[in-house]
Structure 1
Amino acid sequence: MAQQRVPVWVKVEIRSGKAHTAPPVVAHIAVDTLDARAVGRIVQLIQKVAAGDGSPRTPPSRSRSPLSDRETHVLRLVADGKDTQQIARELSYSERTVKNVLHDVTTRLQLRNRSHAVAYALREGLI
């Protein structure tokens, strides 16, 4: 008796409870297996992660931040009370680049202004 192949396609969507965060993280998993037990194991792992148990951890040096290094540096300087011209001079960027960085952060994270961006970054431990 030949084993039947079991195709499995799973879409996992992880959302944050905060309305102003980035879009959800979506993972697609496709498996074509001869072992029905493997399918059960995949389902168990997904349930554990969804319940908050056994979720894969990334090392601290590679943790995913919604901010790039450039954005982090700019927001730290904004938090220090520096204006666009001072930030541009200190980081050797043009003023336009500083404005673009701040605009990108506020737009992507759905924040209202520089102050909101700094408050968000502080709350989330990003700066």
Structure 2
Amino acid sequence: MLLPAEAVAATALIELVRISALPSKQGATFPGRAVAHWAGSGAADALALIESLPGSVQHRCGFSPGWGVRAYEDSLDLVLFEAAFCFRCHEVRLHGTAVPPALGTQFFDADSPPAQALLALFSAAAP
């Protein structure tokens, strides 16, 4: 999966979100509760796992993401990007100030070992 390289390099903190609904308007933050925060090597490891997701074709489910990550820069004021994952339709939607339109919608193999490892990481972090 492709992430905006400059944003990945500038990421100081990753926030894991248990998504509760779709945003009210396009480009808005996905609503949900933050369940974990990763900094340093934890953030780098999560980003590396996301980047290792193999591509796939679109599956139809209506896009109902359950998990999302928000990447923050050092000051924690600016969300560099947000990625919302739907493991049913194999779709990831990215948005944020650092996301070029070409990376906005991507598809990943949700049954692949990296995707299953990512889902396990997300699930283990939830209370």
- Give the structure-2-normalised TM-score: 0.23
Query: Which structure has the highest strand share of the two?
Result: 2
> Quick one: higher RCO (CA 8 Å, sep 6+), 1 or 2?
2
- Rg (Cα) greater in structure: 1
- Give the structure-1-normalised TM-score: 0.23
